[in-house]
Chains A and B, each alone.
Chain A
């Protein structure tokens, strides 16, 4: 019960089938990477949900802060010309 032996937390990413990216499935505790993979298989792919698994120590993930939400993503906010729908094209022009 002592916290000194609590295993570190790992984030699990699963590729559900070939051709798709790995997607975050959840997290789990394991003593090392090898056990994290085995635990991830038992926990997140009991019904053939995956063909490949990544495990990453949760402490190694760097995340953007939600407090920065506005300013951090602001540069993309005022650039509608980055989207194809921004442009007026006459009716009948094809393959564009």
Chain B
């Protein structure tokens, strides 16, 4: 007997019979992945598959909850009640997405407290994009259009990821992200068609968010350390460069409809390739932000830690209340 979440005991590796068993389990796993079947929590899986997924889902979950900060920055200063209600709903969604993903990671035996601990101590990362500041109201629009747009491009293929709980979480996330992107686009459109100052504000936000958004797809294929194995395992379905190209091709006509330009003099249609060519990405900046030297790294993690510490008494009080109630129930039973 076992519970739904309890990971199976690992197969014995040490005996000769154990090694033969492991080989059989491994080939059953490979066959399931090759046949596009989903791997479920209690199936046997290679240790490296498990640890890759925990790392990726944790990083994804961390990104969702850290991503609440740059946008929450504007809730109290939203220009209308309509925009304020939309922004609050969006930030609440990001919290929800984080929770879906933490739950999915827990199906592989990770503990929530441990994952948060790793985020707070810098042992696990979150997406670098959230280390950039939101300087004006237009940034809320640029984040919705570009950052959420890039996230969707990344996440749609993850709905077919080989690990069942991750794929199911992504289906839910993708449905909700679509509102995020559209509200951002609508916000930018309103500014773009507004006064010259509003138009300039929208253009400035797009100028600042464009390149970091392209970096969200990760390093070029040649330098991406985890890509190849993840493709074989069908955790990942497309390469970083392929998804980046798809995103650029989607954005160019959308920018035209907005009446805004993208800050890349080398951006042009390539008839031969059937894609847009675009300029070189500044990977030095990417690696530097990733290493902790972005404009807001310190602020994001400090605020996250503070929120966690200041919420401790609430978590403890709720746990104490639950214990008291269950003891009372037992006493009267």
A/B pair count, beta carbons within 8 Å: 81
Residues B273-300 near A (CB distance < 8 A): none
A62 and B3 contacting across the interface, CB-CB below 8 Å: yes
Q: Which of B59-67, B111-119, B181-189, B219-227 forms contacts with chain A?
A: B111-119
- Considering only residues 9-67 of chain A, those with a C-beta below 8 Å from chain B are 9, 11, 26-29, 31-32, 35, 42-43, 46-47, 58-63, 65-67
Across the interface, name the chain B residue whose C-beta is closest to A49: B172
> Complex Cα distance A54/B103, Å?
17
User: Chain B residues with Cβ under 8 A from A59's Cβ?
Assistant: 3
Chain B residue at minimal CB-CB distance from A39: B99
Contact B113 A27 (CB under 8 A): no
With contacts A46-B96, A66-B43 known, is A31 near B321, CB below 8 A?
yes
Determine the distance from Cα of A42 to Cα of B93 in the docked complex, in whole angstroms: 10
Report the contact-size class of chain A (Cβ under 8 Å from the partner). Answer: 20 to 34
Contacts A32-B326, A63-B42 given; indicate if A6 touches B106 (C-beta within 8 A): no
Q: A7 and B42: CB pair below 8 A? A: no
Interface SS of A by simple majority:
mixed
B8 touching A66, Cβ below 8 Å: yes
Bound together, the chains give a CA A29 to CA B312 distance in angstroms of: 15
Cβ of B169 < 8 Å from any Cβ of A? yes
A62 vs B4: C-alpha distance when bound (angstroms): 6
B residues in contact with A6, CB < 8 Å = 111-113
**Considering the chains assembled together, what is the distance between the CA atoms of A29 and B103 in angstroms?**
9
Known: A1-B117, A6-B111, A63-B3. A43 touches B96 (CB 8 A): yes
